[in-house]
Homo-oligomer: A and B are copies of this chain.
Amino acid sequence: MNANGFGTQVKRGVIEFCVLSMLNRREHYGFELVQELSRIDGLLTSEGTIYPLLSRLRRAGLVSTEWRESTSGPPRKYYRLTPEGEHTLQDYRRQWTLIRDAVNTLVSD
C-alpha cells in the first residue's frame, strides 16, 4: 500500500515478462538474471523471486535448462526459451503494449 508496495505490485506483473525477454536475447543462468535486473533502476529483485519464477517457467514448458560448469565457482543452471516460450513472449508483448498505453493515457494529467 505504501511507496514500496507499488513497485512490488507492478513488478509482480513485469518481472516474468522481463525474464522471458532477456532469455529471448540469449541464455542466462539464474544468478545472472538477478544481478542484471537489479542493476536496472526500478527492477530491483532477489533470488527468492527469480528462482521460484524460473521453476514455474520450466514447469510451464516456456524454458529449458542445462547445467554447465563454471571455472570460478559452483555449476550454473542455464535457461533458454522454448518455442512455446517465444510464443508466450509475443503474447505478453501485445498485452504489455495495451496496458502500458492504457495507463499512460489514464494517468497523464
Query: A residues near B, CB below 8 A?
Result: 1-3, 6-14, 16-18, 21-22, 24-25, 40-43, 56, 60, 88, 91-93, 95-96, 98-107, 109
**A106/B3 contact (C-beta < 8 A), A9-B16, A98-B42, A99-B43 known:** no
Task: Give the oligomeric copy count.
Answer: 2
Interface of A is mostly: helix
Please indicate the chain B residues that have their CB under 8 angstroms from the CB of A103 in the complex. 14, 17-18, 43, 96, 100
A47 to B60 Cα, complex, angstroms: 30
- Complex-state Cα separation, A82 to B11, whole angstroms: 26
Q: List 8 A-B contacts (CB under 8 A).
A: A1-B56, A2-B88, A6-B95, A13-B14, A21-B109, A40-B106, A42-B98, A100-B104
